[in-house]
Amino acid sequence: DAKTTQPPSMDCAEGRAANLPCNHSTISGNEYVYWYRQIHSQGPQYIIHGLKNNETNEMASLIITEDRKSSTLILPHATLRDTAVYYCIVRWNTDKLIFGTGTRLQVFP
């Protein structure tokens, strides 16, 4: 079973920041938080991952709370092409990625 909870859907205006929350209150010390997104009828795309510290790359920023029980994925300037289902995944101490239901982000003009 997925160990994360995400809102089923969110809207965001184009050009604004999209902040996608994720709850992972049962995360253990060695587990990472991964974010993937899936645009309709395509394979998932890796976005970012982190353990304790905040992370930033060319796509997004990941903010992890100090207690690591929740995190937020930030798309700083959302575009229409960012419309997708975003999955927050806590990585077990194995190779497996177990997908939950994700958040459907709709970016509107």
Partner 1 sequence: GAVVSQHPSRVICKSGTSVKIECRSLDFQATTMFWYRQFPKQSLMLMATSNEGSKATYEQGVEKDKFLINHASLTLSTLTVTSAHPEDSSFYICSARRSGGSATDTQYFGPGTRLTVL
Q: Out of 102, 103, 105, 107, point to the residue binding partner 1 (CB under 8 A).
A: 102
User: Residue from 1, 8, 29, 42 that binds partner 1 (CB under 8 A)?
Assistant: 42
- Contact in structure between 53 and 33 (CB atoms under 8 Å): no
Q: Kindly tell me which residue out of 46, 52, 56, 108 binds partner 1, with binding defined by CB under 8 A.
A: 46
**Contact status: 87 vs partner 1 (CB under 8 A):** yes
Task: Count the residues in the chain.
Answer: 109
DSSP 8-state secondary structure symbol assigned to residue 105: E
Binding site for partner 1 (CB under 8 A): 32, 34, 36, 38, 41-46, 49, 87, 91, 93-102
